[in-house]
Amino acid sequence: MCQVVKADAYLVDIEVETVRTDAMQTFVKQETIFVELATADGLTGVGYSYTIGTGGRAVLAMLREHLLPVIVGRDSREVEGAWRALYDSTRATSVGVITGLALAAVDLALWDLRCLRAGEPLWRVAGGFQGSVPLYDTEGGWLQLDQDELVAAALASREKGWTGVKIKVGKPSGSEDARRIRAVREAVGDGMDIMVDANQSMTAAEAIRRAALLEPYDVSWFEEPLPADDVAGHERLSAATSIPIAVGESIYSVGHFREYLQRGAAGIVQVDVSRIGGITPWLKVAHLAEAFNVVVCPHFLMEIHVSLVAAVPNGRYVEHIPQLRAVTTEQIQILDGRAVAPDRPGLGIAWDRGRIDDRRVA
């Protein structure tokens, strides 16, 4: 009775809520790929994945032509077996971002079914460590904002009780980056975390130089300083600075995270549930990081990551970038600077079907 009897996938475009520019690109729109799995006992699980403007139709094609036929007929309770069967069916394109994004949408739908069947929220089914987690803001730290805007946004976050803000770096001059970070630090004082994010824009030599410029301002982490495939460069940088190096949003396999951790090239793990291929591998990465005594602060997708960070003992932070408000009926609850994990059965996201249908493009 738990077999998947029907599987559908479709693409929805969600406009960005604010201009978002970093050192490498501008967030154009969120291409959101949905998967719905119906089972013989009458349940429907909903999963989703995303891109920030390109590739959504490629993910949709991967789902419709290859993955959904594999999932139909399988027992939805056997999530590990289903994930492995899906992965094995895509050996020619794994490990890769298109395959990972497609796998994630199916895997999230399976976990939605698992939680619905158990009558429990995701954060409990996935581990159940704590019901809320600290929140930090990225929306006020984009690269196109001037120094006064960065300061004002950081102060507003502090007023809300949030304990951290992230500032994009990668200006032409390292001294300009340092001035911007210094201004925020002087405004908010010593009691607030300040993270910086270079979005893979630097060489190892330049990242080492800029880390030295930023160290006086007690930066909590230096995110994606180098291209994600440069493990050796991250290792050199980690050895050269006291600032923890954060990686993960552009890593697509558990094995790649293992290499970073074994080599001491990452002090913060930012595994993205969509890009890693779903909740099933996300949890493996989180537990792997715990074995190395490293915290998890996932990239983006706060609406799902709040539950996953709450599930594991080394979950440290959720990133505040609202993006699903146009297609949901409820926002995540924030209480005393902490994001509260949804307590309803399932993934905890209250989808607005009418608004989703209005934005459907394929």
> Euclidean distance between the first and final Cα of the chain, in Å?
30
Walk across the sheet containing 44-51 and list its strands: 4-15, 29-39, 44-51
Of 37, 119, 51, 39, nearest to 86 (Cα)? 37
Give the span between the Cα atoms of 181 and 154, in whole angstroms.
11
List 166, 299, 305, 320, catalytic entry: 299
| Three-state DSSP class for residue 154 | helix
168 counts as catalytic: yes
160 counts as catalytic: no
List 168, 256, 305, 320, catalytic entry: 168
Of 211, 290, 215, 288, nearest to 256 (Cα)? 288
Cβ contact 110:79 at 8 Å:
yes
Cβ contact 243:269 at 8 Å:
no
Cβ contact 310:131 at 8 Å:
yes
Active-site annotation, residues: 168, 299
